[in-house]
Structure 1
Amino acid sequence: MSLRRKELQGRKSRSVWLLGAMLTLVGCSKEAAPTGTADARTARTGARVEAESGSSKLSELPAVEGLSTARVFAQKLEQETPLKETTAVHVKLVPPANKELEDSLVRVVGDPQDPVVLFRSDALAEMGAIPKSPGPGFFTLFSDVPDSEIQRRVDSEARVAKGEFGETTRETVLFNGRHPAARFEGLALEAQAFRGGGMVPIANCPVMPASTQAVWEKALLVRDAAVVQDPARTWDPCTGAGTKGGAWTFAHLMREMAQGSGTTAEDFVTKWLSRWLNDYTVNGDTVPARRKMYDEVIAPWATASGQLSSLQFNSASNTWQVLLSGPLDLDIAPFRLLSIVNRIDLASSTGGGYGGTSTAGELRFVFGLTQPSPWGAGTEASCNLKSFTAIFEYGVPLTGCQQVIDWARKWAQLGARASFDATYLAQLEAMTESVVLHGKAPNKGNQSALNQLRTNEIALVLPNGQWELREFQLVDENPATGTNTPSNGLLRAHTVALTPDDATHDFQTDPDVDDLVTSTIAGGLSGVTVPTQCAASFTVPHALNGNPFLGGNALVDVPTHWEAFSANPGVATDVCARKEFSGNTCNGCHFKDTDTTDLTGINNNAFTHISPTSGIPAKLSKFLTGGGTGFMFSVPDAQFGAGVTSWPFADLLRRHQRLYDIATCQTCGRFFALDAGFLVRMEEVAGAVPFDRLSGTPGELPFKVGPIRDLETMKQLLELRTSFAKEPRDTPLGFLRPPEPFVH
């Protein structure tokens, strides 16, 4: 138990008393309070936040030198290492979460079963292993970077400057996490200096494709009617226009996902929808039924399919069940495509964010629920759009630096096209099919690349109720071990990402949330300045302080966000940690932490970042757009208000820069993975392993954690690498990015 936790014991008893008093007033179920009360509260909250939020020009951000933003330097070695590595890669690591490791000469990050081991650059220079150190705070690992890769990067810079991907700009916005912080100009790769043994920065390109609305629409978040109502690839349940079972339909995605499940696609979907008919429990959190799923979705769909349906109670199993005279017709599903989303910004490395194999992020399909009358034969006016989105989120099944670059370049090529012509549509279809078809992910459930399917709705509880988010995966989740095991079968309910159980944890007074924020997350931060330097790396455990923590669903308004009651508004790490935690929960991301609170839908969205009720094209939140090209949208801190700080957002710009950074500027090298046995040997040699684990990671480590301060010990470990080296991996030189807890 932490000292901070002990200090909170007295407060905890008072918090529990307060929570009990609140439950006496509003009840202890997750079932919502009456709509009138909730709407009045939302209207007051939304009006206050909206009055303080607003967009401002990105050009008002301070300008900084490009070199000051570089965190990776490469230096050609005079002699190859015993592993035939040709290059020293120097990385400015963030300060360790474990303060005991601050002066360690060796750092270990990533997954203990697939560790990344780095050596302090100053110490390597002192012992003559590298020609020169970039300075304090840098750590070094070694790679093979062929001259052809350096030339590829140089040639790529030249093609971008000539307009290969459209109009260009010399200015890049520096993001700290999700927040615009400054402006700078990127740096050309100094190929000649590198070849001569000089230390060169591996940074953003000096010229980048300009971030425009047209590029966003074609390469990042595709919502134009030419795509989402493409007659050859989509089918509209409202009008009947399109092709049933087309490549971008709900039916096609479900048919591919259901293969290998042991049942038909129709039964696969019916059983998924039936999860709303009965209470179920995930990680100790009982998720209440929303039986209007039958009235709003299943029954109308069955009728349109020419089938009889009924909802009956089975006394033997004590559950409500749907009886159908025949299968639902997937080809006329009431889910209409709203957007195809490129989330290559989630491209990272496996192994806790550090190390492992490069990945290509996610591909997402966003659908909105309709209840058309007549079904498939009406107009937009008879569509009856519902406040319900279903988001299919696939892990792009590509690994390795060059494959990820190729994927990024395909998106960049789409962004450069003048229109949504036949070539654009054919290329986009080829890309989506390479992800969603059965068999594209042989090691995942049903051999589907699906990571998760999320829903966000209030349609099933109107006129009384709250917005609710749920998550489903093709895995067996084990909360006790915090693991997911891919397995074939039906979609299974899963804990919602990074979000506490809001039935047992109050969003303003919970001591577990307070402890996680102010002790664990804040304790792993250093050098924080709000709002320009605030980015945390952490995990949220299934259980905290012996009790289940992650929720089986997430309600919104309330909670509108999450607070840490003992956080000090005058302490930057407390303010930053609370925002980082709350902003990455479903509740905060879909309401107060992003000011997605406009119930009128006039100035912004409410609860959704892609609106299911605004028609085609779907309206986007200002969290995404910043208020338009060249703008950022600033939101007052959800707990402390604008008097302490406001947090700026321009997420499509952030995603744009990440896309083109990968497509045009990423430089690859071959890095040797190390066997986990290296850490066993390290403990034998040094007496401890300087492993810096993410804040909030549960479980015991199989070795003693501690610093290595002896130069001779470091030298011995450097030489031992050859005995534990595994296969080399094709990895970006900048792969040692701190893991970001982005899921939304």
Structure 2
Amino acid sequence: MTKRRLGTLAGTLLVGWLTSGCGAEPAQEQLAAQEQPLAEAPAAQRAPVLENLEFIPSEMPSAATPGLLRARLAEGEKATQILLTGDDGKELALSDDGLNGDEKAGDGLFSGPGIVNLDEHLKTQERIATFQKESTEPLTVATFADRELVRETALVPLPSDIFAPGRPIPIFPSPISRAVVPNKSLIITHPSVVGDPTRTYDPCTNTGNPSGVWTFKHLMTEMANTAAPAPAFTERWLRQWLTTQTVNGRPVPARSAMATQILNAWPRLSTGELDLNRTPFKLVAIVNRLDLGRGNGGPYGTSGAGELRFVFSVMNSTTCVRPYNGFLVIFEYGVPQNQCLQVKSWAQAWLGLSNPLLALGSAAYNTQLQNLTQQVVMRNMAPGKPNGSAINQVRTNEIMLTTPWWEMREFRLFSTAANPRNFTTSAAPGHLSEHITVRTPFDQFNNTTTLTSFLTTNNTAILNGTHDVPLDYGATLNFLGAFPQMPTASFIWNAPSLSTVPNGFNARHKFSLNTCNGCHAGETRTNFTHVGATGGLSPFLAAGMTNVNNPYTVTDPVSGQVRSFFEMRERAQHLDSAANQSCLIRRFDLPVAFAH
């Protein structure tokens, strides 16, 4: 199954074409989908994975070339039709029934008429050639499986004479990751951005603009909308740490240090409300997670725009930095753009930040970045979600309240339409309320036979990166957790008798990597935070920031297998692909369910 899915990416697409003759209202994030725990959709509801796709034009190339699209399914996939969105934005269906241009029924080659922007495909070939001339290294496309590099394929332009009526033209992804500057378009921590005095506030020096567009106050005010005044909205969220919460039937312990460390030290107005002009939260990073939208937005597997994230650190007015006793808050917004052309425009704007003529942290750069972020964080940007806010979740990663162990928590805006088991029993409509943590069981199930059973029962899905962790697992009730902890930097999820689990060591790794605490500890050799209190990045991220081709190597703590991760290259590839390629190519994006 894993091999089958990998075969659908760029390298195999071109090889498949050469060897087989076949080159190969927006989907709004609705409330119900947002509030339910992630679950693997039934296969019948998922777009089938393609092996390859090709186009045979009936006219000379233009921006709207009519012709015949043909595709093959990846090995093991089944479908009666292949549904696509043409470059004209219209939905179309490819069939294997011998009709409407399909040569032979049942031969595995699905065909149907469609419109393709061949002008854009020609420009893509020219762009590949230009980058080849300017580079001293071979141009390649990487194939990834669950964040791990498994193959590289040479990226070469198609011959120009292939773009002619009657000639099969392969349609395949050709992203150029080196076109992306990671610290300008993916993870932004530059002091002139996160410390911009017109857009941010520094609680250590009480300088900047406390109402700036990248401040904690602004984000909380827009998120609260009319549900509650922002100070009350903020305090209700923080006070959840002061009493034991119950999430998915199990207690989440109180942390009394919330009062002594944060609430009691926070200046208040004469009314007794928190003074949001004196918030202790300092911005340390703005993060573009377009990659999380792959296969999750729009019809027929086309990409959504993923998430926009803001990372804040709680600052102590005396020390200003708490590197060993930190409290990080991450605002994670679902970008409310899902149709292909919307996503493409969004991606192009982010890629535009990599322009070498645009200095990182300059007035022009910050203005362009603000234009992007305001499209997401402002109230009523997502009318179908609680409070009209595009926020997906707010996560915390802290050791300030739980010394000596790090702990993560997740909060979402509660709606009465949600499954109440996903939330604390004290959840209030329109307020940030404690929520289960996706793909992460309660810690008590680590190193238990229950986990061995789970790895066995869900083996195929885990190895393919498509598994979910349900609220209950069989007879085991209240399985999905709510406050994963990291007692040491070497923490991992493990299980006894792995030799009885098919491909057990790899299944263990993939399961652990996709938990909150496994990803933030032993599986990536991360010391609990991927973005630190001062904006420093974990090696897992930092390795690719200066050169996306730099590997980050980790030795599996159980099997001893050495794995090379290229996290920033994968993110860069997806950004460049979404920004520069035909909407048809988005059909090759495989859905991801990364929680991080």
TM-score range (shorter-chain normalised) is 0.7 to 0.9
In the alignment, what sits opposite 2:172? Answer: 203
The 3-state SS of whatever aligns with 1:144 is strand
Using a 3 Å threshold, how does the CA distance of structure 1 residues 190 and 489 change in structure 2: closer, same or farther?
farther
- The 8 Å contact of residues 297 and 371 in structure 1, kept in 2 or not, is answered as no
Distance 1:180 1:370 in 2: 37
1:485-504 matches, cutoff 5 A: 489-503=430-444
How far the C-alpha of 1:585 sits from its partner, in A, is: 0.4
Q: 1:543 aligns with which of 465, 469, 472?
A: 472
Distance 2:518 2:111 in 1: 38
How far the C-alpha of 1:741 sits from its partner, in A, is: 2.1
How far the C-alpha of 1:519 sits from its partner, in A, is: 2.3
Q: Which blocks of at least 5 consecutive residues in structure 2 are unaligned?
A: 1-9, 17-23, 25-50, 60-64, 85-90
Q: Aligned residue pairs: how many?
A: 529
Distance 2:317 2:110 in 1: 60
- Residue identity opposite 1:296 in structure 2: Q
In the alignment, what sits opposite 1:342? Answer: 288
Q: 2:411 aligns with which of 472, 477, 501?
A: 472
Using a 3 Å threshold, how does the CA distance of structure 1 residues 266 and 398 change in structure 2: closer, same or farther?
same
How far the C-alpha of 1:497 sits from its partner, in A, is: 0.9
- Confirm whether residue 740 of structure 1 aligns to residue 592 of structure 2: yes
The 3-state SS of whatever aligns with 2:311 is strand
- The 8 Å contact of residues 397 and 409 in structure 2, kept in 1 or not, is answered as yes
How far the C-alpha of 1:460 sits from its partner, in A, is: 0.5
1:28-427 matches, cutoff 5 A: 67-68=14-15, 71-76=51-56, 87-93=68-74, 95=76, 106=80, 124=97, 130-131=102-103, 140=110, 142=112, 144-146=114-116, 149-159=117-127, 162=130, 170-188=139-157, 193=162, 196-205=165-174, 208=176, 210=178, 215-261=181-227, 263-301=228-266, 304-305=267-268, 326-350=272-296, 355=300, 358-373=303-318, 382-384=320-322, 386-418=325-357, 419-420=359-360, 421-427=362-368
In the alignment, what sits opposite 2:491? Answer: 560
Using a 3 Å threshold, how does the CA distance of structure 1 residues 188 and 475 change in structure 2: closer, same or farther?
farther
How far the C-alpha of 1:369 sits from its partner, in A, is: 1.0
Q: 1:518 aligns with which of 444, 453, 456?
A: 456
In the alignment, what sits opposite 1:653? Answer: 569
In the alignment, what sits opposite 1:54? Answer: none
- The 8 Å contact of residues 353 and 365 in structure 2, kept in 1 or not, is answered as yes
The 3-state SS of whatever aligns with 1:473 is strand
Deviations 1:368-422 (A, max 9, x none): 111113xxxxxxx554564111000001111211111111111111012441222
- The 8 Å contact of residues 422 and 435 in structure 2, kept in 1 or not, is answered as no
Deviations 1:242-301 (A, max 9, x none): 21210111111001001131x100000000000100011111121001110111111111
Distance 2:75 2:394 in 1: 33
Root-mean-square deviation (CA, aligned residues, Å) is: 3.6
Distance 2:176 2:72 in 1: 23
In the alignment, what sits opposite 1:447? Answer: 388
How far the C-alpha of 1:128 sits from its partner, in A, is: 8.6
- Residue identity opposite 2:594 in structure 1: F
- After TM superposition, what 4+ stretches of structure 1 lie above 6 angstroms from structure 2? 63-66, 107-110, 116-119, 166-169, 479-482
- Confirm whether residue 610 of structure 1 aligns to residue 575 of structure 2: no
Using a 3 Å threshold, how does the CA distance of structure 1 residues 548 and 428 change in structure 2: closer, same or farther?
same
The 3-state SS of whatever aligns with 2:587 is coil
Share of identical aligned residues, percent? 33
Deviations 1:182-226 (A, max 9, x none): 222225467864653444332233x725267xx111000000001
Instruction: Please say which structure displays the higher CA radius of gyration.
Output: 1
The 3-state SS of whatever aligns with 1:608 is coil
How far the C-alpha of 1:73 sits from its partner, in A, is: 1.0
Deviations 1:505-538 (A, max 9, x none): 1x11232x22221222x2348xxxxxxxx64322
- The 8 Å contact of residues 77 and 197 in structure 1, kept in 2 or not, is answered as yes
In the alignment, what sits opposite 1:589? Answer: 519
Using a 3 Å threshold, how does the CA distance of structure 1 residues 290 and 227 change in structure 2: closer, same or farther?
same
Distance 2:474 2:83 in 1: 25
Length-normalised TM-score, structure 1: 0.65
- The 8 Å contact of residues 186 and 203 in structure 1, kept in 2 or not, is answered as no
- The 8 Å contact of residues 157 and 664 in structure 1, kept in 2 or not, is answered as no
- Residue identity opposite 2:282 in structure 1: R
Distance 1:129 1:564 in 2: 53
Length-normalised TM-score, structure 2: 0.79
- The 8 Å contact of residues 442 and 448 in structure 1, kept in 2 or not, is answered as yes
In the alignment, what sits opposite 1:637? Answer: 556
The 3-state SS of whatever aligns with 2:196 is coil
How far the C-alpha of 1:76 sits from its partner, in A, is: 3.7
Using a 3 Å threshold, how does the CA distance of structure 1 residues 91 and 508 change in structure 2: closer, same or farther?
farther
- The 8 Å contact of residues 107 and 117 in structure 1, kept in 2 or not, is answered as no
- Residue identity opposite 2:570 in structure 1: R
Distance 1:406 1:549 in 2: 41
Q: Which blocks of at least 5 consecutive residues in structure 1 are unaligned?
A: 1-62, 97-103, 111-115, 308-324, 374-380, 526-533, 597-605, 669-731
- The 8 Å contact of residues 204 and 661 in structure 1, kept in 2 or not, is answered as yes
- The 8 Å contact of residues 551 and 566 in structure 2, kept in 1 or not, is answered as yes
How far the C-alpha of 1:655 sits from its partner, in A, is: 0.4
Using a 3 Å threshold, how does the CA distance of structure 1 residues 106 and 209 change in structure 2: closer, same or farther?
closer
- Residue identity opposite 2:126 in structure 1: A
1:719-730 matches, cutoff 5 A: none
- The 8 Å contact of residues 292 and 460 in structure 1, kept in 2 or not, is answered as yes
Using a 3 Å threshold, how does the CA distance of structure 1 residues 493 and 412 change in structure 2: closer, same or farther?
same
Distance 1:447 1:739 in 2: 25
